[in-house]
């Protein structure tokens, strides 16, 4: 697990965007795993800027989103399909036919989950997966107690997650309590995972993810077992890490090594 600690949320977004831009420029047909929520928005803005300025093209990429509310159609303003359209897809040159989000309005959600995992496999797997993290350590909608080898499935949201997301719904509007989400096992199959976390509210979850035990109580702790996981966090999110200065030291040494290899 590589841990990069930066000064603020802006720096986190810039660093994360560069990882995605470099990947797509190196392999234009990359399969990207994407996330919703407030944290990825700043990264998406930087991808839009890079695309519109000609620094990167997404015309050959495919994308699979982590999750979707069960019971919402893709054109619902609170659906994650709508979120992705507004925050990223309609602003870049990606082929909309190559963007996939779990179908929240599927007639048979259980079958839809199996088909979603199969679609990822048929695409050759996810090359680069973006993640945020919930205050309770959830990734996607894999809440605490989720199986660490779970596949795409229907999940019940915790009251805390429902409360966190209530701000996006009107007081009298239907707010789903169920979702379709990639499983932790599905996420772990990705060739590389990039998790972003900013702000003091994520500090406890980041501490549990990095320095806590591998446990379903903190779903993100499964990333300790991933062969290529990158955590990009700001100082506020890193404040509870016992070995924060050591992680910074490791990253400085990594940068020196990479610089020497480039100059060799």
Annotated catalytic residues are 67, 136, 138, 143
Give the integer Cα–Cα distance in Å for 220 and 54: 35
What single string gives the DSSP state of each residue in 174-234? ---SEEEE--HHHHHTSS-EEEEE-SGGGHHHHHHHHHS-S-TTSGGGGGGG-TTEEEEEE
H/E run at residue 249: helix 244-263
Half-sphere CA count of 224, side-chain side, radius 13 A: 17
Please enumerate in sequence order all residues whose Cβ is within 8 A of that of 77, keeping only pairs 6 or more positions apart, or say none: none
Asked if residue 206 lies in contact with residue 133, where contact means CB atoms within 8 angstroms, the answer is yes
What is the rounded CA–CA span in Å between residue 240 and residue 238? 6
Q: At 86, which helix (H) or strand (E)?
A: helix 80-87
With 0-12 / 13-18 / 19 or more C-beta atoms within 10 angstroms meaning exposed / middle / buried, residue 237 is: buried
Greatest CA separation found in the chain? 63
Task: List C-alpha distances in Å: 117 to 67, 91, 120, 156, 187.
Answer: 12, 27, 5, 19, 10
**Radius of gyration of the chain, Cα coordinates, nearest whole angstrom:** 18
Tokens for 258?
């990479």
């Amino acid at each position: 697990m590589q841990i990069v600690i930066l000064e603020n949320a802006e720096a986190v977004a810039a660093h994360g965007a560069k990882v995605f831009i470099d990947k797509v420029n190196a392999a234009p047909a990359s399969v990207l795993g994407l996330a919703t929520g407030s944290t990825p928005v700043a990264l998406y803005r930087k991808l839009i800027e890079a695309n519109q300025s000609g620094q990167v093209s997404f015309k050959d990429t495919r994308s699979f989103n982590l999750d979707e509310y069960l019971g919402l159609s893709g054109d619902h303003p609170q659906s994650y399909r709508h979120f992705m359209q507004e925050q990223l897809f309609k602003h870049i040159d990606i082929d909309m036919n190559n963007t996939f989000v779990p179908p929240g309005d599927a007639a048979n959600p259980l079958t839809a989950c199996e088909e979603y995992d199969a679609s990822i496999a048929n695409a050759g797997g996810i090359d680069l997966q973006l993640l945020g993290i919930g205050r309770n350590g959830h990734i996607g909608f894999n809440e605490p107690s989720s199986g660490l080898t779970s596949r795409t499935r229907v999940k019940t949201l915790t009251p805390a997650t429902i409360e966190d997301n209530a701000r996006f719904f009107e007081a009298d509007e239907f707010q789903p309590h169920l979702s379709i989400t990639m499983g932790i096992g599905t996420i772990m199959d990705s060739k590389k995972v990039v998790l972003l976390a900013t702000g003091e509210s994520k500090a406890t979850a980041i501490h549990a993810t990095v320095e806590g035990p591998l446990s379903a109580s903190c779903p993100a702790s499964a990333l300790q077992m991933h062969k290529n996981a990158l955590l990009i966090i700001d100082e506020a999110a890193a404040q509870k890490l016992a070995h924060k200065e050591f992680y910074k030291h490791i990253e400085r040494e990594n940068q020196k090594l990479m610089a020497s290899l480039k100059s060799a």
